[in-house]
Amino acid sequence: MHEKERDLVSAFMRGEMDRRELIRGLGALGVTAGTAGTLLNMAATKAMAADFDWMKHSGKSIKILLNKHPYTDALLANLDNFKSMTGMEVAYDIFPEDVYFDKVTAALSSRSSEYDAFMVGAYMTWTYGPAGWIVDHNEWIMDSDKTNPAYNWTDMIEGVRKSCAWNGRPGGALGSDDAMQWCVPWGYEQNNLSYNAAMLENSGIGIPNNLDELMEAAAKVQADNEGIYGIGVRGSRSWATIHPGFLSAYSNLGEVDLNVSADGKLSAAMNTDASKEFHAKWVKMIQDSGAADWSSHTWYQVGTDLGAGKSAIIYDADILGYFMNGGENAMAGQLAYAPFAASGNGAPTPNIWIWSLSMSKFSRDLDATWYFMQWATGTEHALFGARNMDFVNPVRQSVWDDPMFRDRIAQSYPGYVEMHDVSAPGAAIKFTAQPLFFDLTTEWAASLQKMVANEVPVDEGLDQLAESVNRQLNEAGLG
Amino acid sequence: MTGRSHRFGLSPRFEKISEVQHKGIRAGRISREVLPYLLSLPALLVCIGILIPFGTAIWYSLQRYRLSQPWNRGMNWGENYLNFLSEPDFWNTLQVSLVYAGLTVVLELLLGLGIALLLRRRTRLNNFISVILLMPLMTAPVLAALMFKLMTNPNFGILSYFMQLAGFEDFRWGSDPSTALFTVILVDIWVYTPFMMILLLAGLRSLPPQPFEAAALDGVPRWQQFWRITLPMLMPYVLTASLFRLLDSIQQFDIIYALTQGGPGDTLMVFQVEAYLNFFQSTNIGRSAALLIILWAITFVLSNMFVKNWLRLRERARGEI
Amino acid sequence: MQHQSVLENWLRGIALALIVLFFMFPIFWILLMSLQTNETILRSPPSMVFSPTLSNYQAIFAGRLDSNAASLDIRFLGNLWNSIILSVGSVGVALLFGVPAAYAFARYKFRGSEDIAFTLLSFRFAPPLLVLLPLTSYFQTLGIADTYFGLIWVYQLICLPLILWIVRGYFEDIPADVEHAYRIAGHGWFATFRNIALPLARPGIAAAGLLAFIFAWNNFIFALVLASADKQPVTVGALAFVTASGIQYGQIAAAVVLSIAPTLALALYAQRYLVEGLSLGAVKG
């Protein structure tokens, strides 16, 4: 870093100038806003280093496994700061999402010590935790010798933080007192509506406020706009079809996936009358206004179609709507956001997906790895990513309170922050935590596909599903 | 390389002489007894490493073994297999695998035979066509699936467009359970028909001309010639090629995994796709292994039949040279 | 040959044209797609009139991809390189081990030879996942997970049986008398093998090697289960490329073209051997 630039940054750190002045000053020196962010963060990182022996593991080297994702991009952009602050070396492998979890499973099930930490979703920890492949991170988080004083664990949004903690008992409540912190939240997604404002306006319809209105809106907007379909939701034969909009609406209507009896036994709960009614509506919505190739839609197609102007509304991850509103998308700048409660009563309660980081039990040096973990999930990196990169949604309240971040989002993504604030209090994982999660949700998605294809009536399909779920639970000794 | 050779072992004369050599001139060299073992040893060693995981898979298949419930792991002997009996999913997998294999083999056989008959005469054009028809076979099946995925995209796919022109406004290819099987079979046919074609063509061209000449002299109509002479004489080739394809087809993974991952619904849940998902997604190792063992049992029977047929065919081909 | 009517010739011609169209069209169309921008690809109705561009190939060679979610580095060329290493390496090893074994099975009838030969062939037909899934943990224990060595070893599952059985057929066809005469002249076993047997079986070795190369190149499942990011061949890489590049259909098409081009070129170049190999040495046409 050149002399002048360093002076500017130091002045900023001492509080002698505000951020705009700093950026302007750096701009005058030919430093772009992105680089300025990195520089600034470097300084912030140094400030952080003052109260904690960050160099303790200097010279050590760790390896992490990452999914191809904007979060990864943000991490790599800032990684040099970590390296220079700690003197540690960080190697990494990046896999595309299609094969990412197969690779994680393969590495962990073979007890490979290659990777010290990896990206993971909370659902995966329901397999990895009980299998004994990941550690209870509480051991490090709560240890003030190992965690820097500025880490501020409780800054993590409560619903998100607790959704990553489970006591390992099938059906056990997430975030209970005896829960193990299987993973540390990194970035997360709420499931709400993102829509093409012009298309809705063209049809003269407002923002839908419950499931019935959503169905009507999807049908009408499809009829009134040429060459598009009304609503984008996922449909591939995968657990990923169940967890976004679908489960958010389902649980908002008061339904659960599994019943947990007093003695801890699990049984299927998806064939209640109310559930059947909901499924019938959802299926009809896809049949009437969904994508023609819905059954192959993963999050990527759902987002791409919205961004390309091929669909009007998506009920999916809010960050999909965020990404599609930028870059080279045809509809960039024309998307809007709305929180959504399927019941129409009260606040939204979206189910969430949490990209998290976990340490592998087979790591050779967990303490050193924790240095990386606490930095990557710490406030400084979260702020850096949120301000300068697409590291959204942040899992830390302090980042959501950060005026710079709010300003940036409010300017380019109007309505996004408001949507988040409304639905964040109710946001949590709505599934019952249990080790057969992937078996049961994949089968649920397969049933849904059969119902949409009219291969089986909704009632019958759900009864069959429940029967099969109960059989599998019994077989695994959970039912 | 013409002339009759001895199929197995050395000619008696050679054997005698080499024995003499062994005892006399070649004393001290590698013994004749050991040499063949030495020669095949490296190949064997490479493959033994493969037998071990095979044994492991059998062992897994006899266990209650889910990675997500390590405390529950233990031998349950045949329970994984017994469970299949009452499991609709298993019967669906068996049915889908058999239907897929059956349909692809029959369709590819008919098409391959038709093409081979058309190309039977050795003209320059025919030879050229038979060579360019090999190109799909040289394409990796997973990439072929990808190509068809691009061509059946509802927004811009050329095949979707053709379907629209043909009056099927809403043809959804791999995305609809009623057409998904058709779509993957189409890809399979595209890739593997040339294999049938090339084997049958080689067979056709090796048939002796005399019976046909005699039939022509007797004024036997051409279509009768086909049924009475060509087909019976070609039968060993038909059988060998079909068995070979059946073996591959019942284990299909690449095309289905790349196109639909077994969906929509359970429409395309063939053995290997189901086993893959069981292993990596559900981490239900025991069930995954049991599925594969059953698939192996099926292929074992088929491959025995195939090898027997093939060896007979080779002996015949040699006898006719 | 029989007399053929004009009508019949026409019908034949039409049938052949349709067949060639069906089997060539996908390759042709993907090639066209790879030369178009997204804009022209997305036109409706599809059209063959466009000004061709090499931008998709440029993006792949530059290794950088700008998709709608993020711009990212792609290692597609790395995948191509991996495919080359894995295929060449596998065929090399398979020839090294397979040809002598094939010779042994063809020339010497020794105890268990048929059983061993059949066992080796049957590997070709076992469900690959049956072996691959347990291998994931063994590879870890042996320390060969994520190495070319480990992958090439597993690729022997497809290459070795193929070479063994096709080449064996060719060795069997060499009259024993020829070798025998050479040996009487005082040459040793190895000299005979090298100077007589190998050259005479060369067409078979070429056919088998070529076919093994193509099967290795086209293999998907082995690498899907066992290869890590930096060892992936094109077949796995191309599938991942679909999600990574999202809406950039032209680039997906270009990647497909680049992935199938080597095997297609090889097939056209060495068609004679290929036909020999494909008919499994069963038919000497």
Model confidence over B196-208: pLDDT tens digits? 998 899 888 888 8
Q: How confident is the model at residue C70 (pLDDT cuts 50, 70, 90)?
A: very low
Instruction: Give per-residue pLDDT as tens, B224-233.
Output: 888 888 898 8
Residue from A100, A439, A444, A470 whose CB has the most chain B CBs within 10 Å, to mutate: A439
Closest to C259 (Cβ–Cβ): which among B13, B140, B216?
A: B140
Alpha-carbon distances, residue A45 vs A38, A80, A366, A376, B59 (angstroms): 10, 11, 22, 12, 53
Residue A113 has pLDDT above 60, yes or no: yes
Flag the least confident range among A311-315, B294-298, C163-167: C163-167
Q: How confident is the model at residue A256 (pLDDT cuts 50, 70, 90)?
A: very high
Q: Which residues of A touch C240 (CB under 8 A)?
A: 95-96, 98-99
Average pLDDT for residues C153-171, to the nearest whole number?
86
- Report chain A's mean pLDDT, rounded to a whole number: 88
In a domain, C195, yes or no: yes
Residue from A300, A322, A334, A389 whose CB has the most chain C CBs within 10 Å, to mutate: A300
Q: How many domains does chain B have?
A: 1
Cβ burial of A93 (10 Å; 0-12, 13-18, 19+) is middle
Average pLDDT for residues C70-84, to the nearest whole number?
77
Average pLDDT for residues C13-40, to the nearest whole number?
91
> What CATH number was assigned to the domain covering residues A54-189+353-426?
3.40.190.10
Alpha-carbon distances, residue C96 vs B44, C102, C124, C163, C209 (angstroms): 13, 11, 18, 10, 11
Residue B26 at interface with chain A, using a CB cutoff of 8 Å: no
Average pLDDT for residues A124-139, to the nearest whole number?
92
Flag the least confident range among A203-207, A423-427, B203-207: B203-207
Query: Is the ipTM reported for this complex over the cut 0.90?
Result: no
Residue from A66, A98, A113, A228 whose CB has the most chain C CBs within 10 Å, to mutate: A98
The secondary structure of A248-276, three-state, reads HHHHHCCCCCEEECCCCCEEECCCCHHHH
What is the domain-level CATH number for residue B222? 1.10.3720.10
Q: What percent of chain C has pLDDT over 70?
A: 90
Residue B288 at interface with chain C, using a CB cutoff of 8 Å: yes
Closest to A97 (Cβ–Cβ): which among C136, C140, C243?
A: C243
Give pLDDT, residue A351. Answer: 95
Pick A68 or A328 by higher pLDDT.
Answer: A68
Residue A185 has pLDDT above 90, yes or no: yes
In a domain, C165, yes or no: yes
In a domain, B9, yes or no: no
For residue A312, the SS3 value is strand
Instruction: Give per-residue pLDDT as tens, A293-302.
Output: 898 888 888 9
> Measured between alpha carbons, how far is A307 from A293 in angstroms, rounded to an integer?
17
Residue B156 at interface with chain A, using a CB cutoff of 8 Å: no
Return the CATH fold of A190-351+434-475: D-Maltodextrin-Binding Protein; domain 2 (3.40.190)
Average pLDDT for residues C43-72, to the nearest whole number?
72
In a domain, B151, yes or no: yes
Give pLDDT, residue C186. Answer: 83
| Per-domain boundaries in chain A | 54-189+353-426, 190-351+434-475
In a domain, C250, yes or no: yes
Residue B29 at interface with chain C, using a CB cutoff of 8 Å: yes
Q: What percent of chain B has pLDDT over 70?
A: 88
Q: What percent of chain A has pLDDT over 90?
A: 67
Q: Is A155 in contact with A397 (CB distance < 8 Å)?
A: yes
Give pLDDT, residue B109. Answer: 96
Instruction: Give per-residue pLDDT as tens, A230-250.
Output: 999 999 888 999 999 999 999
Residue A17 has pLDDT above 60, yes or no: no
Q: How confident is the model at residue A85 (pLDDT cuts 50, 70, 90)?
A: very high
- Report chain B's mean pLDDT, rounded to a whole number: 83
For A321, name the nearest residue in chain C, comparing CA atoms only.
C69
Give pLDDT, residue C22. Answer: 95
Q: Which residues of C touch B295 (CB under 8 A)?
A: 127, 130
Inspect the interface and report whether the beta carbons of C108 and B133 lie closer than 8 Å: no
Instruction: Give per-residue pLDDT as tens, C205-227.
Output: 888 898 899 889 999 999 888 88
Instruction: Give per-residue pLDDT as tens, B109-165.
Output: 999 999 999 998 888 999 889 888 988 988 999 999 989 988 988 878 889 888 888
Pick A400 or A42 by higher pLDDT.
Answer: A400
In a domain, B202, yes or no: yes
Q: B236-267 as b/e, with b when 16 or more CB fall inside 10 Å? A: bbbbbbbbbbbbbbbbbbbbbbbbbbbbbbbb
> Measured between alpha carbons, how far is A258 from A267 in angstroms, rounded to an integer?
5
Is the pTM higher than 0.80? The answer reads yes
Nearest of A78, A5, A90 to residue A41 by alpha carbon: A78
Q: How confident is the model at residue B275 (pLDDT cuts 50, 70, 90)?
A: very high
Inspect the interface and report whether the beta carbons of B313 and C156 lie closer than 8 Å: no
Q: Is the peptide bond before B70 cis (omega within 30 degrees of 0)?
A: no
Q: Is A282 in contact with A270 (CB distance < 8 Å)?
A: no
Average pLDDT for residues C94-117, to the nearest whole number?
83
Alpha-carbon distances, residue B13 vs B9, B108, B129, C270 (angstroms): 11, 47, 47, 38
What is the domain-level CATH number for residue C245? 1.10.3720.10
Q: How many domains does chain C have?
A: 1
Flag the least confident range among A8-12, C2-6, C156-160: A8-12
> Measured between alpha carbons, how far is A391 from A382 in angstroms, rounded to an integer?
7
Closest to A435 (Cβ–Cβ): which among B66, B177, B266?
A: B66
In a domain, C28, yes or no: no
> Measured between alpha carbons, how far is C223 from C158 in angstroms, rounded to an integer?
13
Pick B202 or B190 by higher pLDDT.
Answer: B190
Residue A172 at interface with chain C, using a CB cutoff of 8 Å: no
Inspect the interface and report whether the beta carbons of B174 and A130 lie closer than 8 Å: no
Inspect the interface and report whether the beta carbons of C271 and B42 lie closer than 8 Å: no
Give pLDDT, residue B145. Answer: 92
Residue C68 has pLDDT above 50, yes or no: no
Question: How many other CB atoms are there within 10 angstroms of residue C10's CB atom?
Answer: 10
Q: How confident is the model at residue B12 (pLDDT cuts 50, 70, 90)?
A: very low
As given in the structure block, the two tokens for residue A252 are: 């908002």
Residue C63 has pLDDT above 80, yes or no: no
In a domain, B22, yes or no: no
**Looking at this protein, which amino acid is placed at residue C55?**
S
Strand partners, A315: A193
List the domain range (segments joined by +) for residue B266: 88-320
**Looking at this protein, which amino acid is placed at residue C51?**
S
> Measured between alpha carbons, how far is B235 from B254 in angstroms, rounded to an integer?
30
Residue B315 at interface with chain A, using a CB cutoff of 8 Å: no
